[in-house]
Structure 1
Amino acid sequence: MELTKTVIPEFLTGGGEMGELIRSRDWSETPLGSVEMWPQSLKTCIRIILTSRQPMFVWWGPDLINLYNDAYRSILGGKHPEVLGMPASEVWKEIWDQVGPRAATAMQENEGTYDESLLLIMERNGYPEETYYTFSYSPVPGDAGGTGGIGGIICANTDDTQRIVGERQLMTLKDLGKHLLDSESDTAVYNRAITILKENPADFPFACIYQADLKAGILEMVGKTDASLADTVLPPSLEIESTLAADWKFKHAIHTNKSLVVTGLKDKYGKLPSGKWTISPDQALVIPIIQSGQACPFALLIVGLSPYRQLDDKYRSFFQLVADQVASSIVNVHAMEEARKKAEALMEIDRAKTAFFSNISHEFRTPLTLMLGPLEELLAQKEGTLNPDQEAHVMATHRNALRLLRLVNTLLDFSRIQADRVQAHYSPVNLSSLTEDIASTFRAAIEHAGLQFHVNCDPLTTDAYVDRDMWEKIILNLLSNAFKYTLGGSITLSLEQDGDNAILRVQDTGVGIPAEEIPHMFERFHRVKFTRGRTFEGTGIGLSLVKELVLLHGGDINVKSEDGKGTTFTVRIPLGCAHLPADHIVKNDYELYISGLSEAYIKEAFHLGRGNGTSMNGNVPAGEEKPRVLVVDDNADMREYLQRLLEKHYWVDTAANGKEALEKITAQLPELVVSDIMMPEMDGIELLNHIKHDSAISSLPVILLSARAGEEAKIEGYDIGADDYLIKPFSAKELLARVRAQIRISRLHQQAIDILQHSAEELEKKVEERTAELLRKNSELEQFAYIASHDLQEPLRKIRTFSELLQMGLQKGTPVNNYFDKIQSSAARMTQLINDVLNYSRLSGRDVQFVSTDLNAILQQVKTDFDLLIEQKQAIIKSNELPPVKGIPLQLVQLFTNLIGNSLKFSEKQPVITITGTPLQASERASYSGLQDDIDYVKLEFKDNGIGFEQKFAEKIFTIFQRLNEGRQYAGTGIGLALCKKIVENHRGAIKAEGSLNEGATFIVILPADQ
């Protein structure tokens, strides 16, 4: 041991495993000779490499004998340890064509070499491998005692393979993420992906993408990186069940959603595109492009694998990331497409609503014109035809007709703006004078209400270009709004110049706006809840219309307010005309301009400014036998009308809102309260709750008046505790009958509490039963239904009521009586139109329950409703046993009513209506679009022998407001069949019509069967 230790050369001590190998090797028979004979320069090089952690080697002597350290073993791979002591040309024979000349340069020319990230195809583990190295060959001189010259080469190596490959793959992934992001279609995603993969020929010698149509069983190629990829290998179109698809394992990849390796490509297909390499791939990877959680892939990505890379986990993960990037982009495209379709659907709904508003506004204007004309002719007569009471009735009717026309015009203006059909005409005006003149029309109404009105309009130094009609609407709406919510103090309108802008301010000392409501003030149909004001009436689109008109002038509007202290609206519009469309500018002379538009606003303001006043018979001696009735309504016309109607039989007191009513009830208890629901400060519901929850007055009967039509509204009224509920418009006889009944019940309650308790229990039971049947709906036109029911029906009711009162005192056949006939006819038509419109709008609700429905019972109910008409026309209605359906009973009653009523109306001879119901056969389903595959359906046919229609109008008759016949001969609104279509669509069914002129019509209805 001591002898061995002494013979170990010092330069070989340590050095790890390679030091041990060099020490243990017998070098005497090699070109290097025994270790003891090695030249000092070699020993120094060996000592350097053995103590270094950098991969290093020494090639020594003419044969370049290979010596290396531990770190260099990873470079040699499977060649270690056999290559220790072998000539370098044998160690690296596969790359000697590249490294040999570099070694010769160092040995023969005594000149070092340097290469950075040089590609070397090494065979270290039994297969050719893509590698990248940075290395330098440094010549080492021999010992001076020897032959002199260069003894060998020492080299340090850096393996750059992972860095080069990683950067290359990262660039591919980055490009995919960047360029696929804004693709607008599946095809664009695939094409861009192929373009990016083509830029990385090292990892993608060839690649292609097949889009999958699994229903058709077809794969369609949507792109490939190399045009030379033969169609016989991967054709443009391929059946999934074909032999070629099986060879490529396409079907297996689709069913398993896993990537699969296809081998033996050279033997099967010969030479294939090789990308960066000189030899073609022998393997390919088939990768499903699929969304996570999805059952079937969008497409398949086929990648020819590099012949110089092993398909390890890292390499496979890279390809999977590529496929995932493509799949993610496809998902984004589909999501954007869905979002686009939803946006288009919303826009279509908005366009439909706008068209709906526009259509019904036009429909309303015709009967309004026919009402206003005769009324104005009556008011213009000076012969004393009307007595003072009659004249007051006519004036109230005319005033409410004007108000209704203003509401309709506002709706029409707004719908035109929304549909971009407004043509503004901007002309130069003296804006200060114009604004003062418009505002002055409001002065009398404002001061009559006890308010101060200040107008301060400074002269402007620059011309202002405005549409005069629009500017008038802006001012009148802002002043009307300020007047409505200012109960005391002042209203100030000012106009001033700020640079190149005109600033209009309307400031009031009114009730103000809560802070949380301010962001919503210019939203259409938005109204501040529970605010105090002169009235609760209004459409909720006035301020929204103002904003749209201001925007058309290139300006803006904002509001500042403090609850309880007042509000300021500020309008800013640019001066001059540079900001306006040149083709809408009208160059004309300055002129003062006031249209007739202000008349409706001023009359309404005067009307709102009238106080409640003192009732004519409000103070009644104690013990008076006449019953006392309290009328509560914020509309002065309505209060006066109800007072005149009731004071012949009762002592009548009035209040303008619920708060005032409670004060009067406390002062003197009435026997009955007749109250509107929608009022400022305290509405009818809150008043009712106060009465019914106060034990001292809880027995006080309350009749609620509301413009909300329909059975649901009545049930809701009863449900909140009303003793009776009356829908506007109502007749005078009906109101008097309800009042008499409630007072009689109230008095009987004092005499026979047990009987009334029993009656109350029966009433409560009835209400509960009816409430249980209630189907609450959320219509897509809820805002408009509210406007139509409250703000349109109320003035219409007054028109009909006052006309009836006036006509009662006139002799039949007189010219004046003819005027009233026209008013009554137009009002009746408008009432029917409003009811049909409300029915149509309420059908949008989808939050109802579908239940098993007996169509035979519904048919019997409808026949009972038509008893008189059937008897008058001697009609015959036949039917078979109708099968049950799954549906909404109330809507199905409406459907049968409209279809049977349609057949009765359009039959000139004895009507024969045949109704049949059968299961829908599978062979017939294709004739009806929109039916669901997993649902059975029932086919109903309504056949008549009426006047029929031409088949070319079969689709047109289901359009709202569409009529094919003269209204004078066949009355109607043109909404009935549109209602039928909407009801059927709510049931996810179908409807169509067949007919021949003068040969009858058949309506076919498809409804879900009761499964």
Structure 2
Amino acid sequence: MTASGFLSGGGEMGALIRVHDWGSSPLGQAETWPQSLRSALSICLNSSFPMAIYWGPELRLLYNDAWMPIPEERHPWALGRPAAEVWADIWEVLEPQFARVLQSGEGFSTYDQMLPLLRGGIRRETYWNYSFTPIRGEDGTVAGILNQGNETTARVLAERRGRFLLDLSDRLRSLSDPRAVIETAQAALGEHLGANRVGYGEVEETRRFFTTERNWTDGSVPTREGTHDLASFGPEILAALRAGIPLLIPDVERDPRTNSPESLAAFDAIDTRAVITASLVKASGLKAALYVHSRAARPWTEHDAELVAEVADRTWAAVERARAEERLRDLNETLERRVAERTAELAETDRRFRGLFDSALQFMALLTRDGTVIEVNRTALEWSRITADDIVGLPFWLAAPMRGNPALQNAIRDAARRAAAGETVREEHEMRGHGETRAIVDFSLKPVFSADGEATWLVAEGRDITELKHAQDALRQAQKLEAVGQLTGGVAHDFNNLLTIIRSSADLLRRSDLPDDRRRRYVEAVAETVDRAAKLTGQLLAFARRQALRPEVFDVAERMRDIADMLGTVAGARIRIVAEIACTECHVEADVSQFETALVNMAANARDAMDGEGTLTVQVERRRRAAGEFVAISLGDTGHGIPPDKLPQIFEPFFTTKEVGKGTGLGLSQVYGFAKQSGGDVVVESPPGQGATFTLLLPRAQRQETVEPPAPPAAETDPRDGGDGRRVLVVEDNLQVGEISTQILRDMGYETVWATDAQAALAFLSDQHRFDVVFSDVVMPGMSGIELGEEIRRRHPGLPVVLTSGYSDVLAEEGSHGFDLIHKPYAAAELSRILRRLTRRDPSA
């Protein structure tokens, strides 16, 4: 197997491993790696769980995408490097663990292992769950180690802090002497934070640093670190100092070797809380100051600052309680009752919160900024059939609904990142419930902001909308059926009118005593009615975007000038046309005939809106939209406008506000269908009482130099001439159409053979029959006319094929594939012209 084979896929790390210079590494080129390493690495790279491989005597490091966040700034530097070099800061912990697996050949796992990692140049106390699994090489010895795991720092520190605060509260609650409260709190806090010394300052000692006798006239204040300018203190601290209030002072040895700027900033963050605590100490009458003196064994973090503030708050609460017991023992029962009431209120508040949280119909979860789950409501747990232990403490994207779906997990991870940045994310995803149940979930992630505008928590919510989606689909289907019913009724109405004319004319033409002039009139009426039916069919196909268009590149401005007179004729003499056509390089690629038909329909609509009198403004310009550059053709009228409630319906088939018999309601539908089939759009603007403006938007095309084809020969006045015995293979599955087609061709002098399907036609062609041309319908059962034409091209090169169709979605979507095409209904003269051109025996004729 090549390197590209076993390293295929694998996300970002797979790509990094593929391009890494392994030739200069003891591992050698990837193509030479042993099969055991290849197999293990393939599993690693395609896993969504954090995995790494340490290989060879030096335990060279390889890892997957999910493991990338673990080394943080060491990525991608760590790729291919020895474990002792990558983890130099914690090697004293990892080395014996690696050695144990290598020597014993047995796996090793550990939980909440403390690793003092260097992160951002600072040694951090981190905790991990991880395992080492031996990977045996081809000779059966341990050649490498598979590592899996995840960080548990947040949970461990949270649990430790909770246990410390709970224990401290219990200890402080048992003390009745305020001095003992402060000393106990200081000692516990110093021990927990790893401070070298904590102490309790008497008032005399305090006054040596914070004197109440000073007038503060020289603008400075003495502290343990010397005299500081008053401007360096905040207003709250200054007010406390002037009032002679002892303060909680973080007295840090500012040694750059042991205290980073981050740790000093953490101390500075304590001062504001310290003022509040000291103020309460003053108000209680206790003449003492609480302070911490520390040469920290590790940098202080913002968590330490928060903990100090929390301890100060709890210490003051204990002091207040002790002083209250000392001074007001007779009110002890009252105070206890108040505490009990307050505790009950908090319990009730928590109960209400849990009640609301668990009774919510939507799935809810509370996450940390990094996406770790800390709370899940009962609805979510019951839907997934899991317990809180299965999800709390894990990244949200690894929860049960996302299992086995890496794409969904990545989407949820990205949503958490965006929410942590302050964005409210709302998306629809397919998720898994219990078992193999699939559901469409309306999912959202919202940030919870702190007072300073930072996102501190994330709230995940979800709602199973599967049934709603099904209901919406059913509604859309019902609306489609309603639209089909409306379309069918309109088509039936118009075609019945046309068929009435044809049927009546045919009945009268059967009369033997009918005068020649009336016979001609009825024949012309039938021909005109057929043309009207063909036009109606064309409008239907254009609306349905199923008409086989003949697109060509043309200049819209030039074409508009050519058809200005036609628009004037459509509008009528009492409508003034104002043309503003200054557009240059306004070329589009579209069907010219359908383009002109669309303009005529728009002009006719404007004329009717103005009751035949007013101003029609025609504009052509270039417009840029999100989808690209378009040519905009606008027709604006001065009519009464379109009511707002009618605007959504104007492009519906057979919708019209005209009187019965004044219009089919397909004009604007044709415009809409032509625009969409040409890759464009049509929009309408109609401010109340200010007329309406319809704008046809067509994609702008590059100008093409074209050579005008020679004009086709004029059709003979009598289509019965010209067959000259040429043989035509007619392929038509409709019996009536086949009979009339062969009869027309015979009347024009052609010899015909009729096949009712493509297989029969191919049989005629392979049976030594000689034909000059094949005339085939497009839509037939089995093989279509286009497929038949392609097969004839392969088997009988040079044999012309003419296609005919009244409708074909294949033609609409793919074109005629290079075959000549005549649309149904066709005139005998048009069919004769095409057949004569294709069957000329003298090419120069």
* TM-score, length-scaled by structure 2: 0.32
Larger radius of gyration: 1
